[in-house]
Homo-oligomer: A and B are copies of this chain.
Amino acid sequence: MITLTQYLLGMRETAHATLISGLAVAVKLTAAAASRGPLILDQTRQPSPREVNRSLRRLAGQVLLAQLQEADQLAGISFAGQPQILPGNPEGRYLLLFDAMHGMSNLNDNLPVGSAFSILERPEPGRPCLIEDFLQPGTRQVSAGIALFGPRTICALTTGDGVDGFTLDRDVGNFVLTHPHLRIPDESAMFAIDASQAPHWPAAVRRYVEECTLGSDGPRRQDFHMRWNASAVVGAYRVLNSGGLFLAPDTGRSGHWLAPLLHTAAPLAFLAEQAGGSASTGTGRVLEVSPSGLDARVPLFLGSSDEVARLEGYFADH
């Protein structure tokens, strides 16, 4: 049995290990708070789900900062959805991007939510960090990971040498390495997409989904399953573990969700590739997209390499 602590002690790069260790504590505290939900607030009146979620988000940010703000290797943090960055140590070599509660409204219905993080190396340490320092393509990530708060609290990490998955043993509070060397299965019959947006899908996506739903009678010659939880982190873990394809196309509609490149698409794509899969915008590798700003967004298709290739083929055709 290998715990996350032992795993981190075995890493060559202590700076990464210290950052990931702080993230892991923040994840455990966030999971505990998320599990208590409305109970984290005064129980003399019934708080609204919105209040609960606002408190949880604030708390998740606070516990991360409590863990990491004195980490001297950290030059700055960018939280998802915030236009400003939090500068750290000007001498620090690393930048952290963090989405503490991805898909948070799922909590109202006790559906899974997740966290995602991405660690970049700074181009030029030795001066206060700037927003521009964060605007690097995903290929420059040195580490990325997700945590998933569901029936279990799990996390999956990469430092560029494959992906390892950990399950939290709540009895004692250890993340234990339960899924070493996660590999996206080649064979699978799963897809995940928001069917409520079907009329707005690009033609390539429509073709892909229709072929799946035709099942054993259609060109794919097998029946497909689907799940949808309106969360790219949840969807990414599902493909990491069980294969298939997660689809978050651009519907061209204002207000419709599109994956934040830096805080979501890049770390998920790094994990997918490190697990033997692919991540595409439909027309190219997600990891190679250069972000125009902290809030840049991209279509995101990730999963088994064959499925991503098939969809990219359809995009090329249409």
Distance in Å: Cβ of A83 to nearest Cβ of chain B: 27
- For A191, what are the chain B residues with a Cβ–Cβ distance below 8 Å? 196
Q: Give the interface centre of A14, A154, A213 by most chain B CB atoms within 10 Å.
A: A213
Measured as residues with beta carbon below 8 angstroms from the partner, the interface class of chain A is 35 or more
A213's contact among B198, B223, B227, B229, by CB below 8 Å, is which?
Answer: B198
A110's contact among B32, B106, B112, by CB below 8 Å, is which?
Answer: B112
Is B172 within 8 A of A110, CB to CB?
Answer: no
Instruction: Give A5-31 interface residues, CB cut-off 8 Å to B.
Output: 5-6, 8-10, 14, 17-18, 21-22, 24-25, 28-29, 31
In the complex formed, the residue of B with least CB distance to A22 is: B6
Instruction: Give A205-249 interface residues, CB cut-off 8 Å to B.
Output: 209, 212-215, 217, 223-230, 234, 237-238, 241-242
Given contacts A6-B21, A18-B9, A199-B214, contact A229 B111 (CB under 8 A): yes
A150 within 8 A of B: yes
In the complex formed, the residue of B with least CB distance to A172 is: B28
In the bound assembly, the distance between CA atoms of A18 and B10 in angstroms comes to: 8
Is A196 within 8 A of B212, CB to CB?
Answer: yes
In the bound assembly, the distance between CA atoms of A9 and B151 in angstroms comes to: 29
Contact with B along A156-177 (1 / 0, CB 8 A): 0000000000011111111010
A139 within 8 A of B: no
Is B226 within 8 A of A228, CB to CB?
Answer: yes
Is B227 within 8 A of A32, CB to CB?
Answer: no
Number of copies: 4
Given contacts A150-B110, A196-B212, A226-B228, contact A9 B14 (CB under 8 A): yes
Distance in Å: Cβ of A28 to nearest Cβ of chain B: 4
Q: Choose the segment among A34-42, A85-93, A271-279, A310-318 that binds chain B (4+ C-beta atoms closer than 8 Å).
A: A34-42
A178's contact among B9, B39, B106, B217, by CB below 8 Å, is which?
Answer: B39
- For A234, what are the chain B residues with a Cβ–Cβ distance below 8 Å? 110-111
A148 within 8 A of B: yes
In the bound assembly, the distance between CA atoms of A39 and B191 in angstroms comes to: 28
- For A32, what are the chain B residues with a Cβ–Cβ distance below 8 Å? 170-172
Distance in Å: Cβ of A245 to nearest Cβ of chain B: 12
In the complex formed, the residue of B with least CB distance to A218 is: B199
Distance in Å: Cβ of A169 to nearest Cβ of chain B: 5
A109 within 8 A of B: yes
28 contacts between A and B (CB under 8 A): A1-B25, A1-B43, A4-B5, A6-B21, A9-B14, A9-B17, A9-B21, A25-B172, A31-B151, A35-B152, A36-B171, A39-B169, A46-B178, A46-B179, A107-B152, A109-B238, A109-B242, A110-B148, A110-B151, A112-B112, A113-B151, A150-B150, A173-B173, A195-B195, A195-B209, A196-B213, A199-B215, A199-B217
